[in-house]
Structure 1
Amino acid sequence: MALEVPAGTPDRGPGLVVMCALLIVLTSISAVTRVLSKVIVKQPWWWDDFFALISLPIQLTLFGIILTWRNIGLGLHADVVAAENPLYLIQGAKYLYIAIFFFDASISFPKLSAICFYARVFRSNNRHFRNHLWVVGSLVVGWLTASLISTIFQCSPIEKAWNSPLPGTCIHTFAWYLSTSALSVSIDLYILLLPVPMIWALKLSLRRRVYLLAAFFLAYSVIVLSIGRMISTIGLIPNLEADITWNLPAYLYWACIEGALSLISVSVPNMVGLVKALMGPRWPGTNPKSSNKHTDPESLNYNASAGVHASQSFGGDHDGFERLVSSTGSIASGINDHDGKGAAIALDRIHVKTQITVDRR
């Protein structure tokens, strides 16, 4: 640490350093796991992967800013920092100004990844569901755009945002933090509840539907931290400016973990897919006699309008092949593949022809 302070000086910085180091490791592992899952399981790349992977450098930059600020007094009382060098307070405020941009992006891109994941998993002709995906996606983009613009122009002149003695005006900090936090929680709740009707409409047993809902809720449990950050906003932000280097760490815990957990949660299906591929027949519920080398655990191909059961895609599936399972059995094609076994039918290759004959008597 650059600052030399007497031993025993109250300091909240070490906890921040440990948290950032741990989150750097966990978020990096989640991103690497996603890539390995795509390569090993041979899953096709899509937009949910792009938004998840681009979140990693954003997260790492945010942690880097916090660790850099730590070197000039983050975690100490402001009067202790000012006694060492008053310019450190201004420099720290600059770091905060920059960090807000990366924080807003760090919680927005995983949201977009989750939305794209829904679009890919629930391959549905349900127009109502698709419209909801577009609406919530637009809300996320709108929230991010508005947050970035309001961050840039929070003060007039702009420099007053990190140099408060300058003449000028700024927006009300508490109202700004609280409104953006409340909107973020609302969007998270929207995303969390969005797949519930689709899952509940699947022709599965009640227990399996409940398991699926629990899995989706646990995978998007970031809403708990989003609510926690909003509560911390109410308690901490009004007193933030009085001692920013001392009061801010309590808020940063919520903010950093929220962004990191967002990235990790949207990578959970890939982690499961990788483990399942590596375990092979040892994976619970896997048929050892199956000819499929890998299966795609992310794929929950869905066709509610046809009343079709949910099933997993075949290994190496890149074109959305699925087995249609009715209440009486499977619909398999009569076409033999190169192994001499029944081939799965692509949904977009299924055609129904009817011939109506009118017998006039």
Structure 2
Amino acid sequence: MPGTNGPKIIVSLWVMTVVPLFFMLPRFRVKRRYSKLVGWDDYLLALSWVFILIYTVLTHVSVGYGIGKHLVDTDPVKIVDGIKFMYLGEIFALFAMPTSKTSFCVTLLRLTATQWHKWFIWFIIITINLTLWLCAILTLAQCSPVEKLWNIALPGTCWDNRIVINYSIFVGVWSCLMDLLLTVVPWLTIWNLQMNKREKVGVIVTMSLGCLAGVTCAVKTSYLPSVGTWQDFTFNTAEVLIWGLSESAITIVAASIPFLRVLVREASSKGGSGPYHHSDTTQSAQTNRTNSLSCKSRPNGYGNPERKNGYEGSDKSILGEPEEYLGAIVKTNEVRIEYAEGSDEENRGGMYEKGRKQVFKYGTAL
């Protein structure tokens, strides 16, 4: 049996703090360079990472006071401060989870024009925030005064710990379910967008990586039923502290990866003569160009003549519009040629087959 879990806690938390940053910063670079706009989804994602950083710092401090050690090996005076910093850190971990998921949902809202999709996403946003923020409140409210939460020697009262534990289990199960639903939503919102099919599938798959957050949430939740029975609390809590951060960290990574495809495309095209030199054929490149332009005016794929939802920023970067059109107003011209089958005499007499129509479209940047 190891003497302490402290080093494992510190290394694990800092790795899960730094890695999401390496994915999030390129996302912001893409947004600033290509769409010229930073949206609420970006601000929320950055805020969730700040919560993660605060959690890691506070938990690191708590390890210095004895968290991670066996209870018998801790200093009775120092461990009080250790438990205090641990609980304060967990509050910020609970803040990070709904904030990161809300950021992902806001990105999805920008990509859909279907009303029931929007209501479905808003349902996820509201419920995930209500349940997790309430969990943070209950954690601090279970003891009066609140200091008794980490110093049992103080006079005061505390609820039966099973109340908070059972609610935390419910929140964990609900969060897992929402992560799974967020895996399905990209298939509903993106599939009808006017994009190259291969790129469309790539975006959907990368945006569905949030299912890994659901897996980590399930692992974390599996530890909760035994929390109230731990005699060696300071040592056994290590796994909960580590898995509690992994869910938010993975959500940030999953929310950032779809934007990085623009950088990958840019890097792969540097050796060519054009922005789509890596495409299989010139025709494929022209198809990508046309699809990107079409997506600007028909976000739901059903021929709507213009956008009415004010989508900006996130969808442009995800869909990977050609650089020459990014940030520009694009005018779509539509030329219709109608003709009828049959001879001139039949046409003049009104006796002709059902007419046919051809439509040609082209875009120009204004």
- State the TM bucket, normalised to the shorter chain: 0.7 to 0.9
What's 1:303 paired with? 300
Cα 1:183–1:319, aligned 2, differ >3 Å: closer, same or farther?
farther
- Compare 107-116 and 198-207 and name the one that shifted more: 198-207
Return the offset for 1:152. Answer: 2.4
**Identity score, percent:** 19
CA drift of 1:323 comes to 7.7
Which residue is 2:266 aligned to?
277
Confirm whether residue 106 of structure 1 aligns to residue 96 of structure 2. yes
CA distance in structure 2 between the partners assigned to 1:135 and 1:279 by the alignment: 40
**Cα–Cα, structure 1 residues 106 and 75, in superposed 2: closer, same or farther, change >3 Å?**
same
TM-score by length of 1: 0.74
For 2:152 and 2:171, the matched residues in 1 are separated by 22
Query: Counterpart in 1 of 2:184?
Result: 193
CA distance, structure 2, for counterparts of residue 47 and residue 286 of structure 1: 38
| Equivalent position amino acid for 2:364 in 1 | A
Separation in structure 1 between the aligned mates of residue 77 and residue 44 of structure 2, nearest angstrom: 37
State the shift of 1:116 in Å: 0.7
Identify if the C-alpha distance between structure 1 residues 58 and 203 changes in structure 2 by more than 3 Å, giving closer, same or farther. Answer: closer
In the alignment, is the contact (CA less than 8 A) between 1:37 and 1:273 conserved in 2? yes
Any unmatched runs of 5+ in structure 1? Answer: 1-7, 334-341, 346-361
Classify the secondary structure of the residue corresponding to 2:153.
coil
Flag the structure with higher helix content.
Answer: 2
CA distance in 2, matches of 1:150, 1:286: 59
Consecutive unaligned residues in structure 2, runs of 5 or more? 270-275, 306-314, 335-356
In angstroms, what is the RMSD of aligned CA positions?
3.7
Residue aligning to 1:121 = 111
Residue identity opposite 2:254 in structure 1: S
Find the residue that maps to 2:264 and give its secondary structure.
helix
Aligned to 2:326: 317
- The superposition leaves residues 101-138 of structure 1 with CA deviations (integer Å, 9 ceiling, x where unpaired) of 1111111111011111101223x1x2111211222221
Separation in 2, partners of 1:201, 1:146:
37
List aligned pairs for 1:1-361, cutoff 5 A: 10-81=3-74, 85-122=75-112, 124=113, 126-166=114-154, 167-171=156-160, 172=162, 173-200=164-191, 213-234=204-225, 236-240=226-230, 242-280=231-269, 281=276, 283=278, 302-306=299-303, 313-315=321-323, 316-318=325-327, 332-333=361-362, 342-343=363-364
- Name the CA distance, whole Å, in 1 between partners of 2:122 and 2:77: 46
Distance apart, 1:227 and its partner CA: 1.4
Q: CA deviation at 1:159?
A: 2.0
1:213 deviates by 4.3
Does the 8 A contact of 1:300 with 1:312 survive in 2?
no
8 A Cα contact 2:143 2:159, kept in partner? yes
Q: Distance in 1 between matches of 2:69 and 2:82?
A: 12
Helix, strand or coil at the partner of 1:194: helix
Figure out how many residues of one structure are paired with residues of the other and give that number: 317
Give the Cα–Cα distance (whole angstroms) in 2 for the partners of residues 214 and 251 of structure 1: 29
Q: CA deviation at 1:176?
A: 3.0
Q: Which has the larger radius of gyration?
A: 2
Paired residues of 1:78 and 1:245 also in contact (CA < 8 A): yes
Deviation at 1:230, TM superposition (A): 1.3
| 204-213 vs 248-257, greater mean Cα deviation | 204-213
Q: Could you tell me which amino acid in structure 2 is paired with residue 109 of structure 1?
A: T
TM-score (norm 2): 0.74
Offset from partner CA, 1:42-79 (integer Å, 9 cap, x none): 45321111111112211111111111111122221011
Shift of 1:211: 5.3
Alpha-carbon distance in structure 1 between the residues aligned to 2:254 and 2:166? 29
Please tell me whether the aligned partners of residues 40 and 277 of structure 1 are also in contact (alpha carbons under 8 angstroms). Answer: no
On the 8 A contact 1:59/1:106 being kept in 2, the answer is yes
CA 331–72 in structure 1, closer or farther in 2 if over 3 Å, else same:
farther
- Cα distance in 1 for partners of 2:235, 2:19 equals 26
Counterparts of 2:77 and 2:152 in 1: how far apart (Å)? 12
Retained in 2: the 8 A contact 1:156–1:170? Answer: no
CA 1:201–1:27 in structure 2 vs 1: closer, same or farther (change >3 Å)?
A: closer
- Structure 2 CA distance for partners of 1:183 and 1:285, relative to 1, 3 Å: farther
